[in-house]
Amino acid sequence: MATALAVLGLVALTLGPALRGGFAWDDLSLIVYNPEIHPGGSLGRALGRSFWALGDRAHSPSAWLYWRPAVTALNALSWRLGGGAPWVFHAVNLGLHLGVLWLGWGFLRDRQRDPDAPSSQVARALVLAWLAAHASRAESVAWVSGSTDLVMAFAMLLGHALWHRRRWGLAALAACLAALSKEPGFALPALLALDHGRYDENERKEYLRGLGPMVLALGAVLLVRGWLLPPTWQGAAQSPWGVRGLLSALGGMLIETLSPWPRVTVFRPERFVGGLWLGVGVAGFAVLAAAVVWSFTPRGRAGWRGDLGWWWVLLLPGLNTAARFPESLIALRFLYLPLFALGALVLRAWPRTTRGRWAAGVAVLALTAAHAAALRAETAVWHDNETLWRRVLAVDPDNGYAAQELVNALATDRGPEAARVGALAARRALDRGDVSAATALAVRALSAQMYATPGGDGAALRALAAVYDGLAEGRATTMALGGTALTLRPRWRAEGSLRDPVWFELPRAVLALRRGERAEARGAFEGLARVPETRLPALTNLAQMEGQDGHFDAALRALDEADAMRAPDAFRVGLRAQLEAGRELLLRPDHPARSIALAELSLALGGAASCERWLQGFGEEAPPRVTLLRIRARVMQGDLRGARALATAAAARDPAHAAAWSRVMTQLGSTER
């Protein structure tokens, strides 16, 4: 009981703040913008396809490698329980972590020589505390999408406990849950087979026969997986870093295992291939090879071989032996379950003398304290998307991947800052000669600046259009992005970013719409609606354009298609409310009040020309409310001179409200300046 309370308090102290966190990185695509796991979505379809078959990853050649319906179902359940509130997902992760620690206590106990001895219990409690507060736990527990490792670890340890208690059928079900959560779960029978050295000859045969139901069950899962996701043998190419990369990744894992100062997952691999990581990896591989050889000796067969297998077999997939993750060399979440095997190895090597036990206990306690302090700090890193990428850039300012993600995170509501961050990162990339990264960042910065430019700022919109046209035509173009002067050169056209429908073609179409070039914008959006990566925003913009023109039924049909692709965000929820209000207005009898309401709605949708069209019937002697709407429409179109003329004429024919019209004139003057 004392151990349980101590571990619970340690988890609450280090990982408890995660309950106040939000969603970050893959959480957005897997959960927030995934309509199939939301109420009313096609959950059955989501369970039967690749874990990553969504958004721009739907057509990835490596999508067939990932089938994790157990995690998808858990995300759907969590969404329904809390209505999408992040704290529910974080609470589920914390609960899973505590469950894994409970099973981990039994896992460690089963592998000790004399588990009931007081000294063994103290050693086990110290090791479990270290595993509970290890600094790498932030990525698995504080990050919602780290639940894949949590569910797999829970299921594999549960299968281990049930198998050792001769519950063959239940152990097989646990193994299926592990395999349906993450791919290393299929290795459970092999890992259990390595444990046979702990038993005598008769027991050994019985336990190995007990693996039969598990192997059959996992074979059935594998057949279903192959039927739903036929393997293409694509996306599994060899790592571009070869043996050096593999050994460097092993060294990185070993360093992060002991180091209480972890690096966040995403960084530039080329910085770490070789050097210290390679040296540690070579030494670690030599020690591991010697340990494996020794495990075949009579003493080693007593259990060391099984613990080494649990550590090495589970660690191997985390060494990124394939070129599927070009932005990272290791991920700390891959340490989650292998650390329990390392804990078992530590307990096997625990000193037998009193002095040695004291020394080992103090060392583990000090290591736990250091990891706990680091874990609490790392938990805050995963608070939200912006916090995560700012931390990555603080660690590695030249990280182009992190800069792109930060620009994406800021672009929604802080366009100017997104443009500044992207432009500065592009400048750094140019300074180090990385034209590809500079291109991607510059185009993102340009896009963020375009979205942040007010619709009435005609000069700024024209300057942006000139930049886009110059890039499309292959001319060198210089522009101040976020206060940073950046020259975009014609040879960058060879880079993918200038053919990117998301970051080049889509913003260019939006810019055409904002400049009033509706025919050009409509044609661009219709073309982009046929591209999977841009179909959602293209449909949303087409819905808005139809609404501006008063075609509310057509607009709602386009919006229905968009909402079927991804759960509606706040903008699309508001857009639907406006379109439904417009459809209702059209059903009312023709009346001046209806025309004014439709004009206001058109203006809210960004349709200045439509606003003026609805107000045509009022003539020149219009009431003040109509005149104000006309003035706003002219301002939106960048026609400040026409807006001032309307205000001047209104003041002349309405002297009773001269002061109010004077304030309007003053506001128009400040806008013009």
Name the nearest CA neighbour of 82 among 45, 42, 37: 37
State pLDDT tens for residues 267-301: 666 677 778 888 988 998 898 888 878 777 766 55
CA distance 41 to 402: 32
User: Between 180 and 472, whose confidence is greater?
Assistant: 180
Cβ proximity of 329 and 269 under 8 Å: yes
Q: What is the pLDDT of residue 387?
A: 92
Q: Tokens standing for 351?
A: 């000193």
Q: Which pLDDT does position 128 carry in this prediction?
A: 94
pLDDT digits (tens, 9 = 90+) for 356-403: 999 999 999 999 999 999 999 999 999 999 999 998 888 888 888 888
For 183-234, the pLDDT digits (tens) are 999 999 988 888 766 666 677 777 788 889 999 999 999 999 988 888 776 5
pLDDT in tens, 90-113: 999 999 999 999 999 999 998 888
CA distance linking residue 530 with residue 533, whole number of Å: 9
Whether residue 163 has pLDDT greater than 80: yes
Looking at 30-44, 174-188, 311-325, which range is the least confident one? 311-325
435 burial (CB, 10 Å; 0-12 / 13-18 / 19+) is: middle
Across the chain, mean pLDDT equals 83
- What's the CA gap between 159 and 79, in Å, rounded? 27
Query: 306-317 as b/e, with b when 16 or more CB fall inside 10 Å?
Result: bbbbbbebbbbe
Mean pLDDT of 250-256: 85
DSSP string, 246-306: HHHHHHHHHHHHH-SSPPPS---GGGTSSHHHHHHHHHHHHHHHHHHHHTTSTTGGGTHHH
Cβ distance 649 to 668 under 8 Å? Answer: no
Give me the pLDDT at residue 494, please.
44
Q: From CA 314, how far away is CA 178, in angstroms rounded?
A: 13
Q: What is the pLDDT of residue 491?
A: 55
pLDDT score of 625: 83
What is the C-alpha separation between 326 and 309, in angstroms, rounded?
28
